[in-house]
A and B are shown apart, each in its own frame.
Chain A
Amino acid sequence: NAGVMQNPRHLVRRRGQEARLRCSPMKGHSHVYWYRQLPEEGLKFMVYLQKENIIDESGMPKERFSAEFPKEGPSILRIQQVVRGDSAAYFCASSRGPQSSSGANVLTFGAGSRLTVL
């Protein structure tokens, strides 16, 4: 069981380019969460997805950011027309079920993808 796999681990983009970050959840996990960690700040929730459904995207910026978790393949966080302020570490986490379910499904985090915008 390889855990939560994120790639790329490091990504450099110039302003205006697109960034695509991928997350493969742990085997048996169907719930995926994306968090962003800006320099010197705590992790902030972005979006919660299940297969083919966005459940909660209240933490996503209104523009340029989108996320998907297709029936097959990894979850993808897409940032269009990147700006310097998008430079951050983006963490993906997965769980077997909702956080609010009995038994409190523990999140397993990936190692993160570090985006640098030049």
Chain B
Amino acid sequence: KQEVTQIPAALSVPEGENLVLNCSFTDSAIYNLQWFRQDPGKGLTSLLLIQSSQREQTSGRLNASLDKSSGRSTLYIAASQPGDSATYLCAVNFGNEKLTFGTGTRLTIIP
């Protein structure tokens, strides 16, 4: 069964710290992996998309890595800010038209 897991479910860190969010998936034959941000009561915002042939993608203070062999992806956030507080979702495309989502990590940046 193709599953995506995100641990921890919640994380609190002081403002200014660097942090890493983790995502693991059960099937290494993935097509691509996306990281989304979800704010309370809002929709999803796509942050980074990594193709299966790529190892990482960067956008501003965000860097996402992909290691298919170990079934892991990380989202690195540098110099965290209170505005980064949100739920971060990892979603994997296993080669069909459906994204399989993790349950997310709820991030709180403490001013």
Contacts and interface: CB of A to CB of B under 8 A. Distances in A.
Interface of A: 4, 33, 35, 40-45, 48, 55-56, 58-59, 91, 93, 98-100, 104, 106-112, 114
A93 B43 CA distance: 10
Contacts of B101: 35, 42-44
B31 A91 contact: no
Contacts, number: 68
A45 B98 contact: yes
A48 B98 contact: yes
Given A91-B43, A104-B32, A107-B46, A99 B97 contact: yes
Binding site secondary structure of chain B = strand
B95 interface: yes
Interface of B: 4, 31-32, 34, 36, 41-46, 49, 51, 89, 91, 93, 95-104
A107 B99 contact: yes
A103 B91 CA distance: 17
Contacts of A108: 46
Given A91-B43, A100-B31, A106-B46, A42 B98 contact: no
A54 to B, nearest CB: 12
Q: Which of A41, A43, A45, A55 has the most CB of B within 10 A?
A: A43
Contacts of B31: 99-100, 104
Contacts of B93: 99-100, 104
A40 B101 CA distance: 13
A100 B95 contact: yes
Given A91-B43, A109-B43, A109-B44, A56 B97 contact: yes
A111 B36 CA distance: 13
